[in-house]
Structure 1
Amino acid sequence: MTKRDVIGRYKGSVMGILWSFLNPLFMLAVYTFVFSVVFKARWGNSATESKGDFAIILFAGMIVHGLFAEALNRAPGLILGNANYVKKVIFPLEILPIVAVGAALFHGLISLLVLTAAILVLGKPLHWTVLITPLVLLPLLIFTLGLTWFIASLGVYLRDVGQTVGIITTIMLFLSPVFFPISALPENMQPMMMANPLTFIIEQVRQVLIWGNIPDWPGLAFYLLISCLVAWLGYAWFQKTRRGFADVL
């Protein structure tokens, strides 16, 4: 179903699945131009930092946010868009959010390949720690799945959720260290940034992908524990509320 979801998204287009490569490249080019050329933003204080350095650091944050936002933005319409599964077929509805997260993961992996190629093209070293990236992303995937279960169910009963989630994910893009480092904020505001669930994962992805450092294992373990709790609560909520789906639809 994940494969069908991904292929169906590009069905009928001339370039087909090639758009999964082109979309992140176009967004990367636009954001890099705006922040590094127009606003002349720099990630650090190094005078030797190039626009390419800024681009790959920026892109790493965009990949994490994109994976999270794609699944959540689709969540409110998952059950509404598959009403036939609810009304006529005995179907495990709980796998629909898994399919959405799987499709988001596919696009995230494509973007990771693009980022890896960009690192090599720019002549930067590709560290062995890149192999740890799946372990760094695992807690975020579990956390995202839990929220997707919850929002997919809530979207059946509250149709305004679809609009609200889109606004929230956009806000989270600019309240995450995607376009600027945490150190750019005043010290009294940095704890608020760290409270964002994307901040820690974005920082750890950059550590293993770009700077070749070992991730914060205790921090990842704690994040994984919280993610499992969120996933369990999301799944329990979904199973509890699914009984009313057919009546509402």
Structure 2
Amino acid sequence: MSASSPAELTSPGLGGGLRDIRQSGFLLKLLVRKELKVRYRGSVLGLLWSYVKPGVQFVVFYVALGVFLGLERSARNPEGLPNYAVYLFSGIVLINFFSEALGNASRSIVNNGNLIKKIYLPRELFPVASVWVSAVHFFPQLVVLVAGCLLAGWHPSMFQLLAAVAGFVIVGLLATGLGLLFGSANVYFRDSENLVDMLLMVATWASPVMYAWSMVEAKLGSTWFAIYQANPITIGVELFHYAFWFPTTDGTTAMPPNLFTLWTPLGLVIALAIVILGQFTFRRLEGRFAQEL
């Protein structure tokens, strides 16, 4: 038997990164199933929590902002947003997906420490599986959103449906990249979990989920608004608004300028750059995961 050449040797505990995910599809499915079973073990409602939690969240925000603060357009408030319920819920389902995906991905390595210490498998599977689990919870909410849109007279074009896909992809890539970054950092610095919690709290209000982008532009001016608009979450939410809410309006409400020619490509580039940064950080830190855990 011939000895392996130095070129064939690899550092122990290191794999091919996200490229290994394509070759570990079966393991990814097992991890997703495990996460779902563990999460709903002993639960009475089970997957129905995917409807209950965003439903309660929607009612609270709709009453507080749409009714009390007057963001819903009505005869008494013609300056409000038409079909504010659709506007609000289309943003909530996407921000909930991001919050759950990043929150779980940032804890995925630590929570699976026993498994990581026993066997070797691509460690990127754990943050990626967390994002997939969040996608499983996202699609029931999407069904409810589509049903509400249809009741409001939703007739989307193919371009608007593609905008929804683009928004989901941008936010999904962003959650994956940040999940790799904070998931690996959390092994060494457990303060990362608290930092992620604060980021998620800010993310809910730093994107136009509950208010209109025009309100931000009016208060901040064009320069600061451009910085605000470059946020990939903001871009994803606006793409969802364009896909689900805009077709239910009378067409008099404008979308952010350059949403498709500038902000959508920029959001995709930023999200991909964060995936690369997250993968680079993960690769640098994963060599001592088992020892640190």
Q: 1:102 aligns with which of 132, 157, 173?
A: 132
User: Are 1:40 and 2:65 counterparts?
Assistant: no
Partner amino acid for 1:125? W
Secondary structure of 1:78 counterpart = helix
Secondary structure of 1:210 counterpart = helix
User: Are 1:174 and 2:205 counterparts?
Assistant: yes
Query: Counterparts of 1:98 and 1:139 in 2: how far apart (Å)?
Result: 15
Match of 1:124 in 2: 153
- 1:78-114 per-position Cα deviation (integer Å, ceiling 9, x unaligned): 1111112221111211110110111111222221111
Which runs of no fewer than 5 residues in structure 2 stay unpaired? 1-30
Match of 2:270 in 1: 226
Mapping 1:92-241, distance limit 5 Å: 92-121=122-151, 123-129=152-158, 131-132=161-162, 133-185=164-216, 186-188=219-221, 189-212=224-247, 216=260, 219-241=263-285
Partner amino acid for 2:195? T
Query: Counterparts of 1:7 and 1:85 in 2: how far apart (Å)?
Result: 16
- TM-score normalised by length of structure 2: 0.76
Secondary structure of 2:112 counterpart = helix
Pairs aligned (count): 247
Contact kept, 8 Å, 2:127 with 2:183, in 1: the verdict is yes
Once the two structures are TM-superposed, the CA of residue 20 in structure 1 deviates from its matched residue by 1.1
Q: 1:22 aligns with which of 41, 48, 52?
A: 52
- 1:153-187 per-position Cα deviation (integer Å, ceiling 9, x unaligned): 00011111111211111012112111111211214
Judging changes above 3 Å, is the alpha-carbon distance between structure 1 residues 248 and 118 closer, same or farther for their aligned structure 2 residues?
same
Partner amino acid for 1:231? V
Judging changes above 3 Å, is the alpha-carbon distance between structure 1 residues 219 and 197 closer, same or farther for their aligned structure 2 residues?
closer
Partner amino acid for 2:100? E
Judging changes above 3 Å, is the alpha-carbon distance between structure 1 residues 195 and 219 closer, same or farther for their aligned structure 2 residues?
closer
- 1:26-48 per-position Cα deviation (integer Å, ceiling 9, x unaligned): 11111111111222223799729
Match of 2:7 in 1: none
- 1:42-97 per-position Cα deviation (integer Å, ceiling 9, x unaligned): 3799729688x111101111122111111121233211111122211112111101
Contact kept, 8 Å, 1:126 with 1:210, in 2: the verdict is no
Secondary structure of 2:210 counterpart = coil
Contact kept, 8 Å, 2:97 with 2:135, in 1: the verdict is yes
Secondary structure of 2:246 counterpart = coil
Instruction: State which structure, 1 or 2, has the greater radius of gyration over its C-alpha atoms.
Output: 2
Query: Counterparts of 2:92 and 2:46 in 1: how far apart (Å)?
Result: 23
- 1:184-227 per-position Cα deviation (integer Å, ceiling 9, x unaligned): 12142423421433111111111112224997165333322332
Partner amino acid for 2:269? L
User: Are 1:86 and 2:116 counterparts?
Assistant: yes
Which runs of no fewer than 5 residues in structure 1 stay unpaired? none
Match of 1:61 in 2: 91
Query: Counterparts of 2:177 and 2:74 in 1: how far apart (Å)?
Result: 35
The runs of 4+ residues in structure 1 deviating greater than 6 Å are: 43-46, 48-51
Partner amino acid for 2:285? T
Contact kept, 8 Å, 1:76 with 1:155, in 2: the verdict is yes
- RMSD across aligned positions (CA): 2.5
Judging changes above 3 Å, is the alpha-carbon distance between structure 1 residues 222 and 192 closer, same or farther for their aligned structure 2 residues?
closer
Query: Counterparts of 1:198 and 1:43 in 2: how far apart (Å)?
Result: 25
